[in-house]
C-alpha cells in the first residue's frame, strides 16, 4: 500500500483524464502535473501511486518525470520562478537579473526561501524570445524584465 493517497477530487480528475487515452501510460504527464501542482513535489510514494493508476512501475514513472524540468522530487516553493538563460535572454541581461533576484530573495539559484514561498531556477528557452529577458512564475510568463519590474512582480505575489 502506497503512502500517498489521492483525494476524492483527484480521483475524479484521474478518472476523467484516463478516459481520454486509449493507453493508461499515455496519461503519465497529466497525472504527474496533477500531483506536482497539488503537492509541489512528486515523492517516491506518489510515484508508486501514479504507477498503480497507470499499470507501470514507480521506476518507469521516475524515468519519465526526470526528463522534464517542471516536475520536482524536492518540494518547491509556492511560487516557482524559472529564469530563461537561453541566447536572447542572455543578450538582454538575464544573468544579471537572475543574480539580482537571487540576492533579493537571499537564496542561491536552485534553492527555496526559508518560508517556502519562492524557488528559483534557471530554465532553457521559454519560447517568448521577442520579450526577452523572460521568466515564468508557475503558469504565468513575464517579459521585458528589469530590476524594477522584478520588484513589482515579486511584491504582487501573496
Give me the residues that bind ligand FES (CB under 6 A), please: 84, 86-89, 125-129, 132, 134
Residues forming beta bridges with residue 84, ordered by sequence position: 123
What is the closest distance, in whole angstroms, from the C-beta atom of residue 154 to ligand FES in the complex?
A: 19
What is the closest distance, in whole angstroms, from the C-beta atom of residue 37 to ligand FES in the complex?
A: 23
Residue number, 55 or 124, with CB nearest to ligand FES? 124
Residue number, 23 or 68, with CB nearest to ligand FES? 68
Asked if residue 27 lies in contact with residue 18, where contact means CB atoms within 8 angstroms, the answer is: yes
Asked if residue 92 lies in contact with residue 132, where contact means CB atoms within 8 angstroms, the answer is: yes
What is the closest distance, in whole angstroms, from the C-beta atom of residue 106 to ligand FES in the complex?
A: 25
How many CA atoms does the CB half-sphere of 106 hold within 13 Å? Answer: 5
Residue number, 35 or 84, with CB nearest to ligand FES? 84
What is the closest distance, in whole angstroms, from the C-beta atom of residue 144 to ligand FES in the complex?
A: 11
Helices and strands (DSSP H and E) totals, the chain:
7, 4
Length of the chain: 158
Residue 89 has a CB neighbour count (10 Å cut-off) of: 27
Residue number, 56 or 129, with CB nearest to ligand FES? 129
* Grid cell for residue 141: 510568463
Amino acid at each position: 500500500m502506497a503512502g500517498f493517497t489521492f483525494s476524492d477530487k483527484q480521483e475524479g480528475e484521474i478518472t476523467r483524464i484516463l478516459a481520454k487515452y486509449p493507453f493508461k501510460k499515455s496519461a503519465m504527464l497529466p497525472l504527474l502535473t496533477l500531483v506536482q501542482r497539488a503537492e509541489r513535489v512528486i515523492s517516491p510514494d506518489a510515484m508508486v501511486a501514479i504507477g498503480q493508476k497507470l499499470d507501470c512501475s514507480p521506476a518507469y514513472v521516475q524515468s519519465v518525470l526526470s526528463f522534464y524540468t517542471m516536475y520536482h522530487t524536492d518540494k518547491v516553493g509556492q511560487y516557482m520562478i524559472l529564469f530563461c538563460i537561453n541566447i536572447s535572454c542572455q543578450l538582454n541581461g538575464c544573468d544579471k537579473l537572475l543574480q539580482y533576484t537571487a540576492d533579493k530573495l537571499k537564496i542561491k539559484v536552485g534553492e527555496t526561501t526559508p518560508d517556502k514561498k519562492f524557488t528559483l531556477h534557471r530554465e532553457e528557452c521559454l519560447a517568448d524570445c521577442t520579450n526577452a529577458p523572460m521568466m515564468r512564475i508557475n503558469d504565468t510568463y513575464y517579459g521585458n524584465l528589469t530590476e524594477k519590474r522584478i520588484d513589482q512582480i515579486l511584491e504582487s505575489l501573496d
